[in-house]
């Protein structure tokens, strides 16, 4: 249980294809969208991701009963491109973003139940409330 990094190049293009390959937590699928590491530092290029990643990782590891897939939206130049697939097809507006998907919609897309964006992903109380309804949070 905990966090699982999912290489972008290995993800299928359809929601169902992705859903079938990602960790499931009950009826929910959690995806934590982050950025690539900067080649010169070995750390995420986005300061918000650098701060949020250890908080989210620690929370899900401590929790133990839920899994989250970690997906990178790309390098700085890839993410900043308005045509980035994560912006256009997935509706992401900022990183880091932790999304809880429940089921599949009529169009075959994942149904977003809720999400935490940027600063919210660094707050353990918000993480606890965000995951509360799936099982009993510690």
Nearest alpha carbon to residue 92 among 110, 109, 105, 79: 79
Where helices occur in the chain by DSSP H, the ranges are 15-21, 47-63, 76-80, 85-88, 124-131
List 34, 46, 66, 99, catalytic entry: 46
Catalytic-residue membership of 60: no
Lookup: tokens for 111 = 């149904």
Identify whether the C-beta of residue 95 lies closer than 8 Å to the C-beta of residue 49.
Answer: yes
Positions annotated as catalytic residues are 46
């Amino acid at each position: 249980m905990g966090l699982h990094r999912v290489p972008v190049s290995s993800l299928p293009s359809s929601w169902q294809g992705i859903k079938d390959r990602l960790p499931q937590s009950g009826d929910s699928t959690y995806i934590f969208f982050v950025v690539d590491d900067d080649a010169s530092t070995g750390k995420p290029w986005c300061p918000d991701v650098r701060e949020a990643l250890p908080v989210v990782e620690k929370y899900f590891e401590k929790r133990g009963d839920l899994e989250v897939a970690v997906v990178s939206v790309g390098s700085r130049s890839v993410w900043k491109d308005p045509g980035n697939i994560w912006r256009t097809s997935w509706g992401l507006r900022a990183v880091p973003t932790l999304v809880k998907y429940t089921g599949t919609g009529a169009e075959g897309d994942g149904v977003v139940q809720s999400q935490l964006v940027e600063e919210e992903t660094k707050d353990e109380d918000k993480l606890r409330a965000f995951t509360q309804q799936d099982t009993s949070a510690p």
